[in-house]
Amino acid sequence: MWIKKIFFLFLVRPLVLIIAGVSLKGKENLPIKGSAILVANHNSHLDTLVIMSLFSLKTLEKVRPIGAEDYFCNKPYKKWLSKNLIDLIPLKRRPSKEDGHPFGGIYEALDNEEIVLLLVS
């Protein structure tokens, strides 16, 4: 997804790596291909962007964060940003039977050998 790569290359990475001064030790421990679930502590919504910015652009296209659908998809612009810029896997907090399994999107991403990013507080 070219828009995701451009977003991270020209906006997120400069902000995270240069302005915020984030540095990475142990980069060799990051998965470079899926299927993988990467779990990290969650302190703010910026955590997702910071962690995603640490991946190479080639690997970044396979990184898919999980986020609450009722928050990240509740407005058209947020839904567009979440889908197109970070390739969010929306998770329904209160799914109905018609929605299918609540982890369906996660299973699908893992079946597609993607790296699922789960932030927990």
Output the six-digit token pair for 94.
Answer: 């209160």
Question: Which pLDDT score, from 0 to 100, does residue 111 have?
Answer: 97
- Cα 67 to chain centroid distance, Å, stands at 8
As a whole number of angstroms, the distance between CA 120 and CA 15 comes to: 23
Lookup: tokens for 35: 């299927």
Q: Give the percent of the chain with pLDDT over 90.
A: 69
Question: Is 0.75 topped by the overall pTM?
Answer: yes
Classify residue 115 by burial, with Cβ atoms within 10 Å: 0-12, 13-18, 19+: buried
Strand order in the sheet with 89-91: 36-41, 115-120, 63-68, 89-91
Query: What was the pLDDT predicted at 3?
Result: 94
Structural domain including 69 reads 2-94+102-120
pLDDT in tens, 47-79: 899 999 999 999 999 999 999 999 999 999 999
- DSSP secondary structure, 42-85, as one string: -SSTHHHHHHHHTS-HHHHTTEEEEEEHHHHTSSHHHHHHHHHT
Per the structure, the count of domains in the chain is 1
